[in-house]
Amino acid sequence: MKNVKQTRLLFIVICIYVSSNQLVAQFNNNHRFYIEIGYAGGTQFPSSSSVGVYGAAGVFFKSFNKPASIDFRSKELYVTNPDQQATLITLTYRMSIVKGLFIGIGAAHGHQIMMNDFMNEPTSALAGSNEHIMHGSGFNTELGYNFKPFLKRIYPNVLVSYTQVMGHHRNFPNLTVSAGLRIGLKKMG
């Protein structure tokens, strides 16, 4: 019962924090180009959890008179049940809904390989050329939030993404939650 009360309290605090978006949200920190790094975790359906790291590079612009971006993102994940290594690569168009909150949709490609094959030949597994690797392509959807910077060019964000990758007579649906730091590179001109 104590855990339920703590979870409710945490949910209420997050709602208050997000709802006061004038204090914590921002569109893009006035930078045209950015890179992003962080951690990702989630699940690969039907019953495999996943954890790993990600990196991204992107560009901001105006679309429909609102800030938008296109980014290229790569996630390296360890997937359980059975032990596997997975790479998810996405190219996503994002559009701001309200200050801080954005949605995205795009294309995805994935590689997945059993962990013992990955450990025996990590270079070919990461390059996607290992003969035991499973390739697939599909789509990616995202919902995320950009926070105000704690330094001039560095600001945190969170992202929930659903990626459906199909290939080799198998589907690899992934639901991941990512938290990272975005670093603005060049000011908008």
CA 14 from chain center: how many Å? 20
Confidence of residue 9 (pLDDT cuts 50, 70, 90): low
Q: Is the pLDDT of residue 38 over 90?
A: yes
For residue 21, the model assigns a pLDDT of 47
pTM, entire model: 0.79
Q: Is the pLDDT reported for residue 37 higher than 90? A: yes
| Residue range 102-128, pLDDT digits in tens | 999 999 998 888 888 888 888 888 777
pLDDT of residue 109: 93
Q: What is the mean pLDDT of the chain?
A: 84
Residue-level pLDDT at 54: 96
Residue-wise pLDDT for 86-102, tens only, equals 889 999 999 988 888 99
- Hey, how many other C-beta atoms are within 10 angstroms of the C-beta on 25? 17
Torsion region of 29: left, alpha or beta (phi above 0 gives left; psi -120 to 50 gives alpha): left
Q: Taking the CA atoms of the chain, what radius of gyration do you get in angstroms?
A: 18
Task: Give yes or no for residue 15 having a pLDDT over 90.
Answer: no
- Tokens 């039907």, residue located: 46
Judge whether residue 4 has pLDDT over 90.
no
Q: Residue 32: which of 158, 183, 179, 150 has the closest Cα?
A: 183
